[in-house]
Amino acid sequence: MDEVKRRARRFLSDPALPGDRRVRVAQALRSLDEKGTYQLTGAELDHGLKMAWRNDPRCIRRGTYPTLRQLSWDGVVRMDVSRTELTAERVIAAVGTYLREATNGGRLKPMIMVFPPDTPEGPRLRIWNDQLIRYAGEARPDGSILGDPKHVDLTAALRRLGWAEPIGRQTVLPVAFQLHDGVPIWATLPKDDILEVRLTHPDFGWLREVDFVWHALPAISRMVVVVGGLVLPAIFSGWYVASEILENLHRFGVLHQFAERLGMDRRDRFLLNRIEPIAFDIIMHSFRSAGVMIEDPWAADANLHRFVEQEKSAGRVLCGDKSRLVLAGATPDMHARTDTYLPPDPDADPGFHYLPEAWAPLT
């Protein structure tokens, strides 16, 4: 409790917040003594969420943090959200609302949905999927993987919970979650809420036979936001950078399919150097022709550099995880490699915190 009080005092004393900060700090500390928690006002929560995104060491597009939009999961006033009880039905409905609102027909926008904060007794909500939309993966008898190799363990955990749908190359997994550390619950995402982009290009008609899609919305969901010592489960999304889609193509073996279609020698040690520019062109064309927002890595990297310089001029040095910020196809001057960052702060407040796998004991 002493640590929560320290964090609450520090955050609520921020002069960027409206009102008498000394009075507000006293109110919050009194509530912590009496109830073990306190409530953020709408202005405090909005400011805290934007600062958490600004502080996120993994996000290359955090320079747009002022545009972050909150999405109420239950229609209640934000300052009263901690008095609203979570149920499985409400969480499932909130996930559907988030998918529809954040996807916005392909016109993606930075958005976050926060749920009631954890209590002194433990977590309120934990979503198992690292993103709301993930593709299943299972090992075949011959040792090969059908579907996404990255999500074999999550698929196995969902099987243990009773999910029995046969899978193909790209079968969307249910979303699984726990309330109050209780029995895991899973729910199938409605197909109409999932926008997928099929790879197409006017110069490569064979893409119809490759038959590969990727979901438009990267909605991070195995995370919490810490604001003023309060731990709030959250869903957060912006839009993809093309290099992230490229990583998925590589994992599914699609780049080698491209190489075969283009008559390239798979033994060529420079194969990826030759095929990646073509893949970037295909990715950008596919998303743009489908009307789905996407960013090329050069623009994202330049945006990050501008943001770093902006923060420096304000006397701040950002935390940064360079393993996440150096993108494939980065700009020639490699801003993401040369910009100065502090090490990521595991206790950042306000801050985004990405959680470990919850299903490990079940697999």
Give me the phi and psi of 98, to 5 degrees please. -60, -45
Beta strand pairing status for 125-127 and 175-179? antiparallel
Calpha distance 177→184 (Å, rounded):
6
What pLDDT score does 77 carry?
Answer: 40
Task: State the catalytic residues.
Answer: 59, 62, 239, 244
pTM > 0.85: yes or no? yes
Contacts of 75 (CB under 8 A, 6+ apart): none
What pLDDT score does 84 carry?
Answer: 64
What pLDDT score does 356 carry?
Answer: 85
Calpha distance 47→50 (Å, rounded):
5
Calpha distance 254→279 (Å, rounded):
10
Calpha distance 31→24 (Å, rounded):
11
What pLDDT score does 325 carry?
Answer: 67
In tens digits, the chain (363 residues) has pLDDT values of: 788 999 999 999 999 999 898 999 999 999 999 988 899 998 999 999 998 988 887 777 777 777 777 776 555 443 334 456 789 998 999 999 999 999 999 999 888 999 989 988 889 999 999 999 999 999 999 989 999 999 999 999 999 999 999 999 999 999 999 999 899 999 999 999 999 999 999 999 999 999 999 999 999 999 999 999 999 999 999 999 998 999 999 999 999 999 999 888 877 777 788 889 999 999 999 999 999 999 988 888 777 878 888 888 888 777 777 666 655 444 444 454 555 666 667 788 899 998 988 765 544
What pLDDT score does 70 carry?
Answer: 77
Q: Which amino acid is at 141?
A: P
Using the structure block, give the residue that is written with the tokens 């579907």.
147
What pLDDT score does 199 carry?
Answer: 97
Calpha distance 215→62 (Å, rounded):
21
The DSSP element (H or E) to which 202 belongs, if any, is none
What pLDDT score does 78 carry?
Answer: 39
What pLDDT score does 220 carry?
Answer: 95
3-state SS, residue 226? strand
C-alpha 46: how far from chain center? 18
